[in-house]
A and B are shown apart, each in its own frame.
Chain A
């Protein structure tokens, strides 16, 4: 086959997909801000997205904080006692906390949302909602978007604390740092903006995670195979978009280039 035709097809499919996502989002966002608001469903989704993601996010943050402390120590000189806690806390709050939590929740939650909505699509449950005079965007999509946007900052705040604690455990018990000095240097190295920028990122990542799960699940077709494909696509696209959005927001918050 003509390679140019292949490239053309790829880009047409890519732009088609991007367009579909924007159209989906343009229906989903108004559904979030217009009644009816299903509080019971939002709370249910907050439990699923937030509470049940705590173990995986906590463990990831702990080990990331620990590994970061080790890496910085290996590359530093006598100023390690000052550098390690400050770089750990900045690395965790600004970048690794939100990104690692975002990626882990994308794997867990985007997949679950896509599988659930995909199954509802192929078993005609979404059609049934429409025949029961219920807007699927308001009943299915909006609660998931709201819940993800609200819970991701909370998850990341917890991940920040656990990540710093991971660095502290490694610093104190493995690198023989003084505990009080480590904590003092951690606090000294931290500014409010470092934490809030991470929390803003988390809210955006939450939106991406829920949107990708809902988009791929809602539009899945072709039975079990289609639901499987929707699940994979949801996770992959959420992960890529999280990393891209992270770069854009880092440049926005902290400036980029020279």
Chain B
């Protein structure tokens, strides 16, 4: 079976800092892969490389077997139609109403009429537990949790094949974080899509993942089923999942 996403030997540096150092990652169709790792280990750059927001210096990234590493223009737009993305900060367009945010890909990307797109947007908002009255609000009028829900509704609005979640629970209280995790699980299972998430919230990772991969210094140092992570035998993974200050991972505090 062709992997949905396949990254091989991906290398990316910003100035002198090497962020991805030969990253290898495979995500199979229908799989929910979560990449865990500390801050600055290259999680966001990994997702941005697949989305085409960052161009790797070396290596190969394939989506459905198609090489996308240096794809640009309309070819990249075509590939990106397969994607939905929930950003860490939700990244809602503050010049548009909530429903216009959700319907954005339908109106701009698919050329749907505003009335039809609005109906779909309101249905997607209902799917994430938000009423039609929320659709008329501006993003700045929403709480953090509501913004994440709207971001999720926007990510699923155009029925993507692959959804990316960037730190979906960061900045939320534990209850709202669990609400978002549940929404992700139910939405993803309903749609049968492939997902690639990044997080350092282990509760979230355990809830939404089929498989977990740990990124450290730009490389995947362990990957496997989520049930196996507690017996990985990898001291880096053990330190990270138990949140211990002592261990092989040394945090860079100051200079």
Which residues of A pack against B, CB within 8 Å?
36, 120, 123-125, 127-128, 130-135, 139
- Cβ–Cβ contact B53 & A133, under 8 A: no
B77 touches A127 (CB 8 A): no
A132, B105: Cβ atoms closer than 8 Å: yes
Residues of B within 8 A of A130 (CB): 51-53, 80
The answer to whether B48 touches A132 (Cβ under 8 A) is no
B191 within 8 A of A: no
Pair A133/B105 contact, Cβ less than 8 Å: yes
Q: Are A128 and B93 in contact (CB under 8 A)?
A: yes
Q: Which of A36, A120, A133, A139 contacts B80 (CB 8 A)?
A: A133
**Contact across chains for A133 and B81 when beta carbons are under 8 A apart:** yes
Chain A residues lying within 8 Å of B89, measured Cβ to Cβ, are: 123-124
Cβ contacts under 8 Å, A132 to chain B: 80, 104-105, 108-109, 154, 158
Chain B nearest Cβ from A44, distance in angstroms: 9
Per-residue A-contact encoding for B71-94, CB less than 8 Å = 1, 0 else: 000000110110111011101111
B interface, by DSSP: helix, strand, loop or mixed?
Answer: mixed
Cβ of A36: which chain B residues have Cβ within 8 Å of it?
108
Q: Which residues of A contact B83 (CB under 8 A)?
A: 131
Contact between chains at A131 and B51 (CB < 8 Å)? yes
Q: Given A133-B77, A133-B80, A135-B77: A127 and B109 within 8 A (CB)?
A: no
B108 and A139 contacting across the interface, CB-CB below 8 Å: yes
CB atoms of B105 and A124 under 8 A apart: no
Give every chain B residue within 8 A of A124 (Cβ-Cβ).
Answer: 87-89, 91
Chain B residues with Cβ below 8 Å from A127 are 48, 51, 53, 87, 91
Name the A residues within 8 Å of B104 (CB-CB). 132, 134
Determine the distance from Cα of A127 to Cα of B91 in the docked complex, in whole angstroms: 8
Task: Give B contacts to A, CB under 8 Å.
Answer: 48, 51-53, 77-78, 80-81, 83-85, 87-89, 91-94, 104-105, 108-109, 154, 158, 164
Sample 26 A-B pairs with CB under 8 A, ordered by A number. A123-B89, A125-B91, A125-B92, A125-B94, A127-B48, A127-B53, A127-B91, A128-B93, A130-B51, A130-B53, A131-B51, A131-B80, A131-B85, A131-B164, A132-B80, A132-B105, A132-B108, A133-B78, A133-B80, A133-B81, A133-B105, A133-B108, A134-B104, A134-B105, A134-B109, A139-B108
In the assembled complex, the CB of B11 is this many whole angstroms from the nearest CB of chain A, namely 21
Shortest beta-carbon distance, B85 to chain A, in Å?
Answer: 4
Is B80 a contact of A125 with CB atoms below 8 Å? no
- Does B109 lie within 8 Å of A123, measured CB to CB? no
Instruction: Contact check, B108 vs A131: say whether CB atoms are below 8 A apart.
Output: no
Given known pairs A130-B52, A132-B104, the reply for A125 and B93 (CB within 8 Å) is yes
Partner of A131, one of B84, B88, B93: B84
Q: How far is the CA of A159 from the CA of B108 in the complex (A)?
A: 37
A213 to chain B, nearest CB (A): 16
**CA of A133 to CA of B88 in the docked complex: distance in angstroms?**
19
For the complex, what is the distance from the CA of A139 to the CA of B95, rounded to whole Å?
13
Closest to A138 in B: B108
CA distance A125 to B87 in the complex (A): 9
Smallest CB–CB gap between A30 and chain B, Å? 10
Q: Are B109 and A133 in contact (CB under 8 A)?
A: yes
A256: shortest Cβ distance to chain B, in Å? Answer: 42
- Please give me the 8 A-B residue pairs with the lowest Cβ-Cβ distance, nearest first: A124-B91, A131-B85, A128-B91, A133-B109, A132-B105, A133-B77, A133-B80, A133-B81
Q: A127-B91, A128-B91, A134-B105 given. 17 additional CB < 8 A pairs?
A: A36-B108, A123-B91, A124-B88, A124-B89, A124-B91, A125-B93, A125-B94, A128-B93, A131-B85, A131-B164, A132-B80, A132-B104, A132-B109, A133-B81, A134-B77, A134-B104, A139-B108
B contact residues around A125 at 8 Å (CB)? 91-94
A134 touches B91 (CB 8 A): no
| Distance (whole angstroms) from the CB of B154 to the closest CB of chain A | 8
B164: A residues at CB distance < 8 A: 131
For B81, the closest partner residue in chain A by CB is A133
B126 to chain A, nearest CB (A): 21
> Could you tell me the distance in whole angstroms from the C-beta of B64 to the nearest C-beta in chain A?
16
Decide if A128 touches B85 in the complex (CB within 8 Å).
yes
**A131: chain B residues within 8 A (beta carbon):** 51, 53, 80, 83-85, 164
What separation, in Å, do the CA atoms of A132 and B156 have in the docked complex?
A: 11
Which A residues lie within 8 Å of B105 (CB)?
A: 132-134
In the complex the two chains form, what is the Cα distance from A134 to B51 in whole Å? 13
CA distance A63 to B231 in the complex (A): 79
* Residues of chain A lying within 8 A (CB to CB) of residue B108: 36, 132-134, 139
Residue with the greatest number of chain B CB neighbours at <10 A, chosen from A36, A120, A130, A132: A132
- Considering the chains assembled together, what is the distance between the CA atoms of A135 and B72 in angstroms? 10
Chain A residue at minimal CB-CB distance from B110 = A133
